[in-house]
Every structure is written in structure tokens, then in C-alpha cells.
Amino acid sequence: MTMKLYCFGESGNAYKAALTLELSGIAWEPEFVDFFNGQARTPEFRKINPMGEAPVLVDGELTLTQSGAIQQYVVDKTGKFGGAPEDKYEVLRWVLWDNHKLSSQAGAVRFLMNFLPREKRPAEVIAFLQGRLKAAYTVLDQHLAGREWIVGGGMTTADLSCCGYLFYPEPFGFERADWPNIDAWLTRIQGTPGWKAPYDLMPGCPADRA
């Protein structure tokens, strides 16, 4: 049975799940969530996910939310992207770090800078979050010095989580050229057979609302 991922192109968290599914080779299909017109807050959608968020993975009788949990489900189902057995907790450590220190800040800044009306963009909040992001980029860039992947000798969900927001074209205070180790790492991910950019992998993009 083909899995269904409720998602939309602008969501970096949905992209993490979608990219993991795509690169694993498992059968899946996207189900567009019209987030910007309020679909995630409707009673109908909350029957699928009471949290009112995307992504949501539906595989038969299983409904699973949160990108990290969905990624782990793909690991358990396919045996891919989990790393060596001894790396299990190190992979998890980086997924949790990303969710708290990187993606949460990047998602908020990108939303404030690109998806709010210009007059409603809070400059002080954006500057504060960009400062936190700079600290996160520094941690990741230094960790990647001399490494091809975040954990072990191959791609894991640590990579597929941490890269989620860094492939988006909208400005949010991240320039690949400023972070050479991150840039080289993202280039390796892009070179993985089957890799697709967010707006090519999932339905929905800012141009649709222009």
C-alpha cells in the first residue's frame, strides 16, 4: 500500500519527512495541505492530526505526526538512514538538536521574513532569532569540518533533519557561502540519487499565491 504524506511545499518540517521517504525508495504520495488558507485548523483536518500541523504520515491504519517520528518510522520500515547500530543515540541527539536549535529558529524567521505582510514583520524578533541561528550554524559547520556526514560514514536522519530548511530559496539569514563545511555537506546531499528540492518534491509554493 502506498503511504500518504499530508504536506505542503513551504514546510521545512514536511520536507524532512518527504525527502526521507523519497530517498528511501518507499512508495508514497503527497496530499496537499492548504495551510495558508487555514486547512490545518479545520475540524476535518484535526480529525487526522489534532495538533493541526503538517506533516502527517498515513500508512494503512497508522497515522503518525512530527517529522522526526516519521523519519524514524521510515528507518524502521526500510532499514535505511539509521546509521550503524552504535550510532543510534548520536543520530537521535542530532535530530533533537535540529528540532530545538536549528529548524525551530529557521522556520520562525523564514515565516516572519517572507510570509507576513511587510509592515507586520517584527525586526527585533527577527534579529534575535537570526542571532540564535548564527550560533546553530556555527555548531553545525564546526562539527562538519573533516566529515562528510553528521554521524558515521553515510547519510542518516541526522542529515535529513538538519538540512530541511537550508534548501529553501527564500531569505532568512542563511548564506551557504558563509559556511563552507555546511555548503559542501548540502552539495553532497543534493548529489544523492533521487534528491529533489522542496518545491519539486511537494505541492504548494509561494508562486501559487502570487
The reported pLDDT for the residue numbered 109 is 98
Would you call 6 helix, strand, or coil by DSSP? strand
Same domain, residue pair 76 and 146:
no
The reported pLDDT for the residue numbered 183 is 98
Same domain, residue pair 66 and 97:
no
Q: What is the mean pLDDT of residues 131-158?
A: 98
Cα 178 from Cα 138, distance rounded (Å) = 10
Q: Largest alpha-carbon pair distance within the chain? A: 50
Q: What is the mean pLDDT of residues 136-154?
A: 98
Task: Quote the pTM value.
Answer: 0.97
Whole-angstrom CA distances from 144 to 7, 102, 125, 180 are 30, 15, 29, 9
pLDDT band at 18 (very low <50, low <70, confident <90, very high): very high
Positive or negative, the CA dihedral 9, 15, 20, 23 is: positive
Same domain, residue pair 122 and 103:
yes
Residue 1 has pLDDT above 90, yes or no: no
Burial-class residue 39 by CB neighbours within 10 Å (0-12, 13-18, 19+). Answer: middle
Domain that includes residue 160, residue range:
85-190
Average pLDDT in the chain: 97
Please state at what angle helix 123-144 crosses helix 103-114, rounded to 10 degrees: 140
Same domain, residue pair 143 and 170:
yes
Q: pLDDT per residue over 169-186, tens digit each?
A: 999 999 999 999 999 999
The reported pLDDT for the residue numbered 170 is 97
Q: What is the mean pLDDT of residues 196-209?
A: 95
The reported pLDDT for the residue numbered 209 is 83
Q: pLDDT per residue over 109-134, tens digit each?
A: 999 999 999 999 999 999 999 999 99
Same domain, residue pair 123 and 185:
yes
Q: What is the mean pLDDT of residues 60-89?
A: 97
What's the domain count of the chain?
A: 2
